[in-house]
């Protein structure tokens, strides 16, 4: 199924000069970039993105940490489209804690802190966010992009990748 999903290059990815490297991973896999911008997120925007459900999942301290983290500098918001894009993008990104992320994934190639380290130090820098499912993708795309910021065009290699 052709899907659209949201990717954020978090402040650590921007500050470490990894924008090009991260974007390349999605682009070379054949995902079509349909929106792209740099944003300094406000606390309000970050709070809508990482809603109360994050506090239910990880505890309120992690949510507070996350809101500080994602507002600590500019981020790159990206919308991509492609066959099964939501799952494929999550696979390219790798699992939540870089110490457990497979080599070849973004988190597995550019970070290494473990889950234990994240929990002990309240440190969750993992370079990228990617929508988890269709419902979240729809909500998050609408949060970060207006309709007129999302573009439709044909990639020249679509006959080989779709």
Ligand X SMILES: Nc1ncnc2c1ncn2[C@@H]1O[C@H](COP(=O)(O)OP(=O)(O)OP(=O)(O)O)[C@@H](O)[C@H]1O
Closest CA to 122 of 51, 56, 67: 67
In the complex, what is the shortest distance from the CB of residue 9 to ligand X, in angstroms, rounded to a whole number? 11
State which H helix or E strand residue 116 sits in.
Answer: helix 115-121
Residue with nearest beta carbon to Mg ion: 132
CA distance 55 to 64: 9
The smaller minimum CB distance to ligand X, of residues 60 and 162, is found at 60
DSSP, collapsed to helix, strand or coil, labels residue 121 as helix
> In the bound complex, what is the minimum distance in angstroms from residue 136's beta carbon to ligand X?
8
Cα angle 19, 130, 31; round to 5: 70
Which alpha helices (H) appear in the chain, and where do they start and end? 11-15, 19-29, 43-49, 52-58, 60-70, 85-93, 106-110, 115-121, 134-144, 158-161
The enclosing H or E element of 6 equals strand 2-9
Per partner kind, with CB cut-offs from 5 to 8 A, the member of ligand X, Mg ion, none near residue 64 is none
68 binds ligand X (CB under 6 A): no
Report the residue number whose CB is nearest to ligand X.
124
Interacting residues with Mg ion between 119 and 138 (CB under 5 A): 132
Q: How far is the CB of 151 from ligand X (least distance, A)?
A: 23
Active site residue 49: no
Which partner from the list ligand X, Mg ion, none does 130 bind, CB cut-off 5 to 8 Å by kind?
A: ligand X
The one catalytic residue in 49, 58, 112, 129 is 129
Residues that bind ligand X (CB under 6 A): 54, 57-58, 62, 65-66, 96, 118-119, 122-124, 126, 129-130, 132
Residues that bind Mg ion (CB under 5 A): 132
Residues with a known catalytic role: 129
């Amino acid at each position: 199924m052709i899907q659209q999903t949201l990717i954020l290059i978090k402040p650590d990815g921007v500050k470490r000069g990894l924008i090009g490297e991260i974007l390349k991973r999605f682009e070379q896999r054949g995902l079509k970039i349909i929106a792209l911008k740099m944003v300094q997120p406000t606390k309000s925007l970050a709070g809508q993105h990482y809603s109360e459900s994050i506090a239910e999942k990880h505890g309120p301290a992690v949510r507070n940490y996350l809101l500080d983290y994602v507002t600590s500098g500019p981020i790159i918001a990206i919308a991509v489209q492609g066959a099964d894009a939501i799952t494929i993008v999550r696979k390219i990104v790798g699992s939540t804690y870089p110490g457990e992320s497979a080599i070849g994934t973004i988190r597995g190639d550019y970070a290494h802190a473990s889950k234990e380290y994240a929990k002990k130090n309240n440190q969750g820098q993992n370079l990228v966010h990617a929508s988890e499912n269709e419902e979240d993708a729809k909500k998050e795309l609408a949060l970060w992009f207006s309709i007129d910021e999302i573009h439709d065009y044909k990639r020249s290699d679509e006959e080989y990748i779709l």
